[in-house]
Amino acid sequence: MSARLAIRTPGLGVSIQDGGRHGHRHIGVPLSGALDPVFLAAANGLLGNPADGAGLEVLLAGPLLEALDEPVRIALAGAMGARHLRIGGTSRAVPAWSTLTLQPGEQLQVGSPRGVGYIAIEGGLLTPPLLGSRSTYARAGLVHGATTLPCHAARPHTGEWQNDALRHGDGPIRVIPGPQDGHFTAAALDHFYTTPFRVTRQRDRMGLRLAGPALAHSPLGADIVSDGVTPGAIQVPADGQPILLLADCQTVGGYPKIATVIRADLPRLAHLQADDEIRFRAVDADEAAAARAALACRLADWLTRARPAPAGGDPETALLLAANLAGAAVRGDDPHLWPDETRPGT
């Protein structure tokens, strides 16, 4: 059965994204798709959707959503909570990594994520595909502009689910050198792999500009005949400051590429903030393939650990069930034990 989800306030940096627009790079159309496909897959997995089903990506501030006509089941992924606004004026906090069902007329106010967050809808969003994908690519006008989104109605009697937070690894970002690393001096290559770079405020879905020691070019220079680029490519223009390309990047470029981030570490880039430090480590193709397989296994294992949410979804119940009550006795009215939004009586 079909349903509709209304966007009452749009938030900031909110767009429809799925697994990306494959097969059109030869005509200049970027891949697009989720900046963090792992988190999108996690949100979809909590609902039984395909991993690349279309959902909402949130970069800055979440939207206010309302179910119309039929119940709609939603899942949240990322460091991003929400508040369920019930008919009658009551509300409750909704944690990330969980599902909830909006009855017709009920609303969900989604908060601001740390990094990037995802809102998946059971059955996926059913906006019309554009060039084989529902992903937004605003620069080319590939946008679903309506404020009412078609979707599936929630399946009855499936219950709500939750899981522990899914976290990415840390440490240096792994890259495969080149393909134009010969355009850089030995000192520049040494700096690239041994010195941290800082994420600047020039960052969007197209890429990140980094600041650090200027990477000097060899006599081959800072320009090449334009060739193909891909998300994860690290271009270095004449000023020596790297540009790290992301999902909405162009399809060709004329700056030499010192290295390319491996697929397994691309999702980590989506969560970098201005002034964060980033380091790089060179790996070979075998290590890159092993890392990608390990990430897929980790996501599959995470999905097997999803569990039914406490009846009613009250945050106090969830906190009690997660506590080691057998290990110690505490005062339930001690305000230091409760986050502000879940303190009893608030």
Gyration radius (Cα) of the chain, Å: 22
Q: Report the C-alpha gap between 211 and 213 in whole angstroms.
A: 7
Which stretches of the chain score pLDDT less than 70?
A: 312-346
Domains and CATH numbers, the chain: 2-162 (no CATH), 173-282 (2.40.100.10), 314-342 (no CATH)
Q: Give me the pLDDT at residue 35, please.
A: 98
Among candidate residues 5, 4, 29, 207, the one with its CA nearest the CA of residue 131: 29
DSSP assignment string, 251-300: SEESS-EEEEE-GGGHHHHTT--TT-EE-EEE--HHHHHHHHHHHHHHHH
Residue 184, strand partner residues: 217
Among candidate residues 243, 206, 8, 205, the one with its CA nearest the CA of residue 116: 205
Neighbours of 220 (CB within 10 A): 12
Within 62-147, strands assigned E span 64-68, 72-79, 82-85, 91-94, 98-102, 107-110, 114-121
* Count of positions (residues) in the chain: 346
Residue 108, strand partner residues: 65, 84
Q: The whole model's pTM is what? A: 0.88
The answer for residues whose C-beta is within 8 angstroms of residue 143's C-beta and 6 or more apart is 136, 137
Using a 10 angstrom Cβ sphere, with 0-12 exposed, 13-18 middle and 19 or more buried, the burial of residue 212 is middle
Question: Which residue reads 């749009």 in tokens?
Answer: 10
